[in-house]
Chains A and B, each alone.
Chain A
Amino acid sequence: MLDQIDQTSLIDIRGVCRSFPKGSGEDLLVLENVDLTIQSGEIVGLLGRSGSGKSTLLRIIAGLVAPSSGEAKCRGEIIKGPPNGVAMVFQSFALFPWLTVLQNVELGLEALGIDSAERRTRALAAIDLIGLDGFESAYPKELSGGMRQRVGFARALVVHPDLLLMDEPFSALDVLTAETLRTDLIDLWTEGRLPIKSVLMVTHNIEEAVLMCDRILVFSSNPGRVAVEIKVDLPHPRNRLDPTFRQLVDSIYARMTQREEPKAPTVEGAHSAGVGTVLNHISSNVLSGLIETLAGPPYNGHADLPVLAGQLQLEADELFHFGEALQLLKFAQLREGDLVLTDAGMRFAHLETDDRKKLFAEHLINYVPVMGLIRRVLDERPSHTAPAARFRNELEDYMSEDYADETLKTIVSWGRYAELFAYDEQSELFSLENPH
């Protein structure tokens, strides 16, 4: 019996799907047919863009969300509610502001009904381990972000979980703090001082995944699927400047951009997207700035994504969003880890403000179907006005309410910049009133 338990994997996910209800009837599929096993002694990373369902998968394993279909097992038992021996570290730390560091750390033990003497010993040991000595009686609001996340780690470690779940644990921290925390954690892990067996972490930072994980599952978006699984055999501590490390990062960049290729056919004139494309809200200032950077030296219209991300101090995920927006507008193309300006993009970089707006408007009408639709409706109606609800309903046929809101926000912002139409926030009305 004991042997059998040892042989079963810690976590076993088979064919899991998860959908969420959407504004109009049909459900939105965020996770499709995911398989995943986690064994003892490994750090597994879930890497993907926002909206790729990786956080949802983490929450399914944490027992906070139930799968719509498929089965999720922890030590051979179906997960119903948070399983024992699984603890979680949150992106936002999720500390209780009214409890001291010590009380926060003891919380998980209290819930397990452990008596106070042992509770104290274990909590102090965890605090000691994670480098929080001297902060026991401090309240979270007195601590810096890095120290707060250390409390988050101590609170999770103190229950001695078999599996530690981490939901983008470093993404709310500044670069330096995040790096210190990462290396501290990896050091403790390699020295075998962490009272845990395995780690599952969600991240959208490619370098972070390569730095920490033994195995990386790259997710593709809409719906979330495991696109590829990559083993990282580099020994710890890993060096970011090591050529093999760089190569691995580059290849993951390439793979993550490559997935988007089919969406953007290169044939001129063909619409690359339908009315139902989700538009991420990216300010026209950012787009202009990015085009200028790309057009200027040293890139001269052609940039390697990891290099560009490093120079602009952007997360890969953000840069992807920007690149995608440029691709959608046909100002640039994402190709195998590179971002390449199109002729129109080059032209845009050298135009004055008014001409830029005209070019932007032209591309909006031609390549963003929903923009063309709004403009057509406004032109056709005698009043030259249309309520936002009319387009929101149409968007909600294709996407969730949140995405529809985001898309509408983008439409308004881009439309205003291009002076395609006016929008009154109060009455939620599009009109042709004051452009030109």
Chain B
Amino acid sequence: MKHFTKALLGAAAVVALMAGPSVAAEKAEVIHWWTSGGESAAVKVFADQFNAAGGEWVDAAIAGGEAARAAGINRIVGGNPPTAMQFNTGKQFEDLVAQGLLGNLDEVAKADGWDKFLSPVLVKAVSRDGHYFAVPVNIHSNNWLWYNTALLEANQIEPPKTWDELFAAMDKLKAAGVIPMAQSGDAWTQVLLFNDVLLGVGGRDLYLKVYGDNNVEAVKSPEFAKVVETFGKLREYGDPGQQGRQWNQATGLVVSGKAGFNFMGDWAKGEVIAAGLTPGKEVGCVPGIGNQVYWIGGDVFVFPKTDNADAQKAQALLAHTMLTPETQVAFNAKKGSVPVRGDVDTSKLDACAQAGLKLLGTENGSVPGFDFLQTPDKIGSIQDVIGQFWTTPSQAPADLQAKFADIIATE
């Protein structure tokens, strides 16, 4: 009898579950990797706006970009695609487009007039052969240097403008017994640091030659040697606790005053804001030390192809919602990035974002991101050699240069 009651209860629960969604609006399951404090506050803007527009946001957050992309691609290939999933702006979703697995967004793009408010760089990044396949949601700049203002003042250090000043400042901090540079143990953050040095010491032209043209001579040049040397010197300023530390924990060390500097993209601002501080005030920012360039990165959402009419409706609604001016301003203020629309009010953005916007507006003030230019395969190989170099203090810079040249030379 007891069992029978239990079974009955179970059946009732199942029926209740099945009956539930039938009244709900267009459901959209969205895979993304925004899990840190600042990031989840930003993604909530999307969810709220989409729900307000009559949809139902089903959150599928997976920690770590690589893991999230792997999960999403697997589901697409396996025939059970999510309604939408996140990628970094760039080449990551290229194969999915080539295989015809992504939905075409031309209709929404035409109705909303994407051509009018998206910059040509972004249009190029999200379309293939004249068709739109992704919704760009933000513009990030990867090469920021963050510092704790109070800590610098306490040690009588001026915010550095050149690499020499930075090294001098870090020596002072080291002597004072604080961590000079907070660094995460994740390989992608080591690559980010390397590219910061490449842009800051080597300059925009060298960056474009190496990644844009795959020019091996540029990698073998003395300018690149200087980049590698500077990067090697930075190894002395990290702390032994790097291994296993996430990027937001590294930024957190600067926010809490345990470390002086941190190289990280402008999404670090989200952590500053989440801690109740103001970017540009308690935590200062330098948009690319030595050589101010806006290194464009960002995130896009793609919408896997589906035959389900409801899912298609949800996709169109979501694509529209993500790009409305209100969503863009609210989302990017939380995320620490810059809106993709050129026609929204940016005066409310913080001091750091203003500095970035100024660079973005000047000619030759920006470079396309690493992900725009190189395939995941090659980026992976570069990650391996840089990670190895960074964690092996005895490895000579020339060794990294030679390995780097080998990778750039491959197809």
Chain A partners chain B: no
Q: Which positions in A face B, CB cutoff 8 Å?
A: none
Q: Which positions in B face A, CB cutoff 8 Å?
A: none
